[in-house]
Amino acid sequence: MSTDEEEHMSGDAFEGALDGNVLGGPLGEAFGVELTASRVSCAACTRVAVVADLVVYDAGPGLVGRCRGCGEVMLRMARLRGEMVLDLRGTSLLRIAV
Ligand SMILES: [Zn+2]
């Protein structure tokens, strides 16, 4: 590993990532409510955060939301053939204000 890479890794571990606010649009479309302020619990480390606090990557098809605490995937979302497909297996709890 070069010194440049080490410096890169010692910096912001989530450099280049978006924040959970970009999930607000598509989640709002799917659920019909604003979810960025909703609390979610990480299934891997039990950390509780609001959706807006997730670390989001949009490099693949759809969006991937990771835990800011442990980096595990909490949420995957993709729009496929007229459906919003959500994989929430990394989220143990999703609390929606009603
Ligand atoms: Zn976590």
Q: What is the pTM of this model?
A: 0.83
Chain centre distance of CA 12: 17
Query: Which tens digits make up the pLDDT trace of 61-77?
Result: 899 999 999 999 999 99
Ligand 1 centre and the CA of 40: distance in Å? 10
Q: What does the longest C-alpha to C-alpha distance in the chain come to?
A: 51
Do residues 69 and 18 touch, judged by C-beta distance below 8 A? no
Q: From the CA of 94, how far away is ligand 1's center (Å)?
A: 14
Q: With CA atoms as reference, report the closest residue to 23 among 75, 90, 59, 61.
A: 75
Decide: 41 and 93 in contact? Cβ < 8 Å: yes
Q: Which residues surround ligand 1, an ion (CB under 5 A)?
A: 42, 44-45, 47, 67, 69-70
The Cα–Cα gap between 3 and 16 comes to 20
Taking the centre of ligand 1 as the mean of its atom positions, its distance from the CA of residue 48, in whole angstroms, is 8
Express each pLDDT in 6-50 by its tens digit: 444 445 778 889 999 999 999 999 999 999 999 999 999 999 999
User: Beta partners for 87?
Assistant: 76
